[in-house]
Structure 1
Amino acid sequence: MVAKKMRYPVEFIEDAVRLTRSSDRPLRQMARELGVNPETLRSWVNKAKQAEVEQPEDLAVPEEVRALRKRVAELEQDNDILRKAAAYFALVPG
């Protein structure tokens, strides 16, 4: 008899890996508590480790954040100017 392959939601897998890594309990115990096969959980943890090694932190992200913060500051300044102009024109008799 072939065991049926189960599909787990990505969120469940991520939570299970995070919980397993942060716990001091043995992997087998964690698997039992989560209701998954220990080898399945081991595979998830190993894949997460592999992904961290293959994809080091993206160095472009901080540059993108700086650019976005600059753009937000410019847009806030534009909004401030428009607010002042609207207030001025609301007071000017027309």
Structure 2
Amino acid sequence: MSRQGRFSPEVRERAVKLVLEHQTEYDSQWAAIGSVAAKIGCTAETLRGWVRQQERDTGRREGMTTTEKERIKQLEREVRELRQANEILRKASAYFAQAELDRRSKR
């Protein structure tokens, strides 16, 4: 289950849009972020993270996009499941091999 937080995607998107549209009215992007964050009730650092991710998603900043992050999470989950399955199969194989040895020694 994904950790969404207390802000809907619509609120996040609108807050980022406000920062990007109005940053020229402030001395710095950080000042714009602080102003918008106060208005929507989140911390400036939270909003800064949303803005940075939007910049990565649109190619204005280097780094992993949201889609790439989701794909990596999916692959890590799949690797974890496959490792668990391999461990189960390894233990089952060892169990049946031991059972076969026990059966042969009783003859």
User: Into which bin does the TM-score normalised by the smaller protein fall?
Assistant: 0.3 to 0.5
Q: Which has the bigger relative contact order, CA under 8 A and spacing at least 6? A: 1
TM-score normalised by the chain length of structure 2: 0.42
